[in-house]
Amino acid sequence: MGYAIWAKLASLCHATKLNPCLIAAQQLAKMRRKVSLLIAALAAPLFGQTYFPAPPSPLDNPPSAAKELLGMALFWEEQLSHADTVSCGTCHSFRTGGGDGRLAVHPGIDGLLGTADDIRGSRGVLRRNGPSAFAVDAAMGVAQQVTRRKAPSVINAGYSTMLFYDGRARSLEELALVPLLNHVEMGFIGRTEADLVQKVQQSRPLALAANVPQRLQTFIQGQSYATLFAQAFGSGGITGTRIANALASYVRTLNSDQSKYDHYLAGQVALSAEEARGLFLFERSGANSTSAAACSQCHGDISPTSHSAGPTFENLTPYGTPQQHNNFHNTGVRPIAEDAGRSQGTFKVPLLRNVALRAPFMHNGSLLDLVAVLDFYSRGGDFHQNQAPEVQPIQLTVSERTALLSFLNTLTDPRVQNELPPFDRPLLQSERNVSATIYGTSMTSGALVSVRLMAEGPAFLGKPAFVIGVAGIEPFQPAFLLLDVAGNPAGSTINGLNCWLGLTPALAPIFAGLSLTTANLVLSIPNQPLLVGSTLYAQWVVADSRASTGLVTSDALALVILP
């Protein structure tokens, strides 16, 4: 077949005198499309939820196809974040098992990076004191804030009645608005439901996304969110509750029960000898024995009953008290003082399906791979205050670790790993290109602080407010933003000031007022298609009587205008 295609290509090139590489690329793309359609068609009968029962929905939010599709659009909608940079799916991506594979580190309570209390969390947004007032974050400075816990998986979360690592949300409906209003994840300090609703109203559905799956394209069909909400809820109106209901309905479709282990539970396939030994070790009770791991005492979500009851689990610990919910345990990852979890260092037991896709592990992401997790359990955890009695040194041998590892690898659902329905999804703007980049270096002010430019997000045509801020200045210093159509990445020095702009005749200084701790300038991007692809350069100059130059300059911004 390969030969036939190349022969055809050669004759085509000859006939049309077109660039053969271009044609080859087009042919390959066509072939790939055909193959993926074929795979999708073959796999289609598997997409249904064959093993788990459907997760329960609250009576006032019954499932419907339109609501689920609206929820899907909202889940992947970067415009739900105030800065147009973060969607739910940014931190909960399927390729990484429903968690976050991007590396972002919070310095922890000691405020220092590179120490044992660091947290591998999720990158959110720059800190803002209001919609258009950047602020310096105590932990992250002028960089994007990072969550203080690792993002757990959204997959199979529909079966859970206590959500978050501390169980503080009782339903997906209750949970969904939390990240949207949170100033670290998607919002700004003081963001309200009304702000959110206004943002949704202003947004064209998935305007920033690419490769929108066909089922979602068919649903959206160029319509506005107002129309889509009316379609999903049977009457007009966008509200916070409806946003939460649609998101929750979508998350309830993200059910993963097609791993090799699931097919094994259903009697469809056999485990290899090594995988079966891993399962045996995982289930073996008697945690003190050197040959037993007894993981299933807490991780019951993958028990055979999950096919009848769903992947929920509450174990019966001998030490449970009314305050201590049985699905929360202190395994001894970090001292209680760093994060008490639900109480006394107890954290929700994570669901293990797709765990192999989800590194790093534990609530603080401190264990980088599954080998590190097995080492951790083998030595009986690290911190023993209020530690669960099931976690004991079990001295796993090398071959026991290998067996457990191959068992944990059977829990991966290929639909999750390959992002096939229901785990298909659009490509995010932030995964394709970054419109705002900061370059150059900043000067130090008379108060010995770096004068730093702050900006984030895509600058697309018609965007009402793109905010450019400057941090590190003192109250009542006059601040000017210089705008230019050319940059000068190598930089030049003029009268002791660093200049990162091309200094073309188009250079325009804009007075941003007298600063408090930051100054901010709000640009609205004109709806002028000619601007697409052009780059705007900007740099701050601040009057500073204590600086020897009388003025200080910031680093600079290159802003590509997107369609």
Residue of the chain from 133, 293, 467, 538 that contacts ligand HEC (CB under 6 A): 293
Site for ligand HEC in 161-180 (CB under 6 A): 163-165, 172, 175-176, 179-180
Among the candidate windows 361-369, 452-460, 501-509, 550-558, which touches ligand HEC by CB under 6 A?
A: 361-369
The CA-based dihedral angle spanning residues 173, 119, 337, 390, taken in that order and rounded to the nearest 10 degrees: 80
Query: 414 and 475 in contact (C-beta within 8 Å)?
Result: no
Region near ligand HEC per CB under 6 A, out of 23-31, 190-198, 369-377, 523-531: 369-377
Q: Which CB sits closer to ligand HEC, 245 or 488?
A: 245
Residue 338 or 424 having the CB closest to ligand HEC: 338
Nearer to ligand HEC, 408 or 501 (CB): 408
Rounded to an integer, what distance in angstroms lies between the CA atom of residue 316 and that of residue 93?
A: 32
Closest CA to 77 of 68, 90, 59, 94: 90
Binding mask 198-237 for ligand HEC (x = CB under 6 A): ----------------------------------------
What is the C-alpha separation between 527 and 457, in angstroms, rounded?
Answer: 17
Q: Which of 250, 252, 201 is nearest to 229 (CA)?
A: 201
| Out of 265, 362, 557, 558, the residue judged to bind ligand HEC by CB under 6 A | 362
Residue window 373-402: x/- pattern of binding to ligand HEC, with contact defined by CB under 6 A: x---x----------x-xx-----------
Neighbours of 489 (CB within 10 A): 11
**What are the backbone angles phi and psi of residue 414, rounded to the nearest 5°?**
-60, -25
The least distance separating ligand HEC from the CB of residue 160, rounded to whole angstroms, comes to: 5
Please state the closest distance from residue 86 (CB atom) to ligand HEC, in A. 5
Of the candidates 128, 123, 142, the residue with the CA atom closest to the CA atom of residue 454 = 142
* Nearest Cα to Cα of residue 469 among 87, 129, 190: 129
Give me 511's structure tokens.
């007075």
DSSP classification of residue 119: E
Q: Is 240 in the site for ligand HEC (CB under 6 A)?
A: no
Binding residue for ligand HEC, selected from 70, 86, 473, 562, defined by CB under 6 A: 86
Which residues in the 314-343 window bind ligand HEC by CB under 6 A? 329, 331, 333
The distance of closest approach from Cβ of residue 336 to ligand HEC in the complex, given in angstroms and rounded to an integer, is 11
Residue 160 engages ligand HEC in binding (rule: CB under 6 A): yes
The reply on whether position 311 binds ligand HEC by CB under 6 A is no
Of 82, 189, 185, 137, nearest to 517 by C-alpha is 137
Tokens 């029962």, located at residue: 53
- Could you tell me whether strands 551-562 and 459-460 are parallel, antiparallel, or unpaired per DSSP bridges? parallel
Side chain identity, residue 239: T
Which parts of 317-383 are beta strand (E)? Answer: 328-329, 347-348
End-to-end CA distance of the chain: give it in Å, rounded.
Answer: 41
Stretch that binds ligand HEC, among 48-56, 256-264, 289-297, 421-429 (CB under 6 A): 289-297
Q: Which is nearer to ligand HEC, 328 or 480 (CB)?
A: 328
Minimal distance, residue 451 CB to ligand HEC, in Å: 28
Q: Is the preceding omega at residue 55 within 30 degrees of 0, hence cis? A: no
Q: What is the DSSP letter of 153?
A: -
Toward ligand HEC, which CB reaches closer, 405 or 420? 405
Q: Kindly determine how many residues on this chain lie close enough to bind ligand HEC according to the rule CB under 6 A.
A: 52
CB of 168 to ligand HEC, least distance (A): 7
Q: Cis bond leading into 360, ω under 30°? A: yes
Tokens of 399: 């071959």
Shortest distance, CB of residue 42 to ligand HEC, whole angstroms? 31
Given 93, 122, 409, 488, the residue binding ligand HEC (CB under 6 A): 122
In 76-155, where does DSSP find H-type helix?
A: 88-91
**Which residues bind to ligand HEC, rule: CB under 6 A?**
86, 88, 90-92, 121-122, 124, 147, 149, 151-152, 154, 157, 160, 163-165, 172, 175-176, 179-180, 185-186, 247, 251, 293-295, 297-299, 329, 331, 333, 347-350, 355, 358, 361-363, 370, 373, 377, 388, 390-391, 404
